[in-house]
Each structure stands twice: as C-alpha cells, then as structure tokens.
Amino acid sequence: MQRDVIIACDFKSAEDTFKFLDLFRDEARKPFLKIGMELFYAEGPEIVREIKRRGHKIFLDLKLHDIPNTVKKAMAVLSRLDVDMCNVHAAGTIEMMKAALEGLTRADGTRPLLIAVTQLTSTSEERMRSELLIDASINDTIVKYAQNTRDAGLDGVVCSPLEAGMVHAACGEGFLTITPGVRFADGDVADQVRVTTPARAREIGSDFIVVGRPITAAEDPVAAYRRCVAEFVG
Ligand code: C5P
C-alpha cells in the first residue's frame, strides 16, 4: 500500500470546500480527501460525486455503528458512491464489521478500503472505566479492537500515530494505520494533544496521515500540502 497524505476537508459547505480545492487545480498530484459528517450531512451525496469528478480519492468518514443489517445496507449505498475508503466503529462487534464488508463489496468483487475506529482519542481511560465499565487499559482496548477488526477481514484502523507501531506489532505490517493528530515541528498544535510530525509518523509506520488545519488553515495550503507529502511520502 502506497503511503499517502489525506487532507481533512472540515468545511461547513460545498462553497467553502470548492474554494479550497480550486487552489489545487494545477497540482499534478490530486490530494486524497477526507469528507466527514458535517460536510456530508450539509451537502449530501452530491458533494462526493462532484469531488470524484474532479479526480480526487475520497475517505468518507461517517463512522457507522448500528445493527449489522442496517450497516450492511448503508455500506452498499456508500459503495455505489464510489468512495475509496470508509469506516465503522469497531465497538459495533465483529459481526457488524463483517456485515459492513459484505455490503461494501460490489458485484464484481471490488470494494473501497474499510477501516475501523478503535477508541476515539476523545475517550479517556477514566471515562471508559466509569461510564462504559471497561476495566482494561486504553492500549489493551485499542489492540483488542484492532485485532477484532483484522479478524472481521477489514483493512485497518484509525489510531494515533503514536499507536501505529503497537497496532502493526499486534495485527501485522500489512494492516493499515490511518493516523490524524499530525503537526509540523514548527506549527500550531491547536486542540490536538498527542501529536507528531509527518516525518515521525512515517518512521513509526503510519500508512496514511490525516491532516486538517496544518494545511487548510495555512497561508499557502498548496505549499503546506507539498511539505507534508515531501516529509511523509518522500
Ligand atoms: O485539523 P486537524 O489536523 O486536527 O484535523 C484532524 C482530522 O482528523 C479532523 O477531521 C478530526 O476530526 C479527525 N480525527 C482526529 N482524531 C481522531 C479521529 C479523527 O483528529 N481520533
């Protein structure tokens, strides 16, 4: 799997998104983009189609978590949208993840990559214990959820770049790690806590880094994207 930089398009509207994407019109390398809930719920599937028409790969980050039959049917719809990567919550169980994979697989056997969220980075060990009644450590939980994800036949997990080595050790080098929380060494951390640079993420073994504000809020987003690619992809 080729390492790549995925830009998180955390914009509120199609207008803002296309204003940003227009900056990349002349780039030889069309950036891989992440579309999340805010933009998808605001603009619907048409924004996915339009971005595909412009030649970008898309990670549709909708984090599905429901009964297996519902997830399977929803995934079949997303698969017809021709996205390149989508995701579910591993907490939905192995059965749900298998159903997601089935729904996603097209008649000709092809399908987008499917990855799972283990524990959200916003969930602390303390809250896991007091609210979710999970007594295991956060790292043990992440490894177990990653193993469940692999056993269900999915392609990888979203995790912190600092956890990518641990996940690869438990699930194999071919199991993908998609990692947000990336900042330039001289950049603003904003609200992220456990961050690392694109170069360090590469050393630890991330397969894809998801980068939002260091690119979208940069004075020159194209230059920031190029810098990310140079550091991470090489
Ligand atoms: O702007 P920034 O680089 O912090 O954006 C990171 C992106 O990755 C955002 O879309 C954020 O929602 C997402 N993300 C994250 N941490 C997670 C999962 C997703 O930052 N654990």
Per-residue pLDDT tens over the stretch 13-56: 999 999 999 999 999 999 999 999 999 999 999 999 999 999 99
Q: According to the model, what pLDDT value does residue 2 have?
A: 85
Q: According to the model, what pLDDT value does residue 1 have?
A: 67
Mean pLDDT score, 142-151: 98
Q: According to the model, what pLDDT value does residue 51 have?
A: 97
What residue's CA is closest to ligand 1, atom 21?
A: 121
Q: Work out whether strand 113-117 and strand 85-89 pair parallel, antiparallel, or are unpaired.
A: parallel
Which band of pLDDT confidence, cut at 50, 70 and 90, is reported for residue 122?
confident
Residue 149 to residue 96: CA distance in whole angstroms: 10
Look up the domain containing 16 and give its range. Answer: 4-232
- Is 63 catalytic? The answer is yes
Q: Which two tokens stand for residue 192?
A: 């992220």
User: Looking at 19, 34, 57, 63, which residue is catalytic?
Assistant: 63
What residue's CA is closest to ligand 1, atom 3?
A: 212
The total domain count for the chain is 1
Backbone torsions φ then ψ of 232, nearest 5 degrees = -95, -40
CATH number at residue 94: 3.20.20.70
Ligand 1 centre from 214 Cα, in Å?
11
Ligand 1 centre from 209 Cα, in Å?
10
- Listing DSSP states for 170-216 in one string gives HH-TTSEEEE--B--TTS--TT-SS-B-HHHHHHHT-SEEEE-HHHH
Mean pLDDT score, 173-189: 94
What residue's CA is closest to ligand 1, atom 16?
A: 180
Q: Which residues contact 109 (CB under 8 A, 6 or more apart)?
A: none
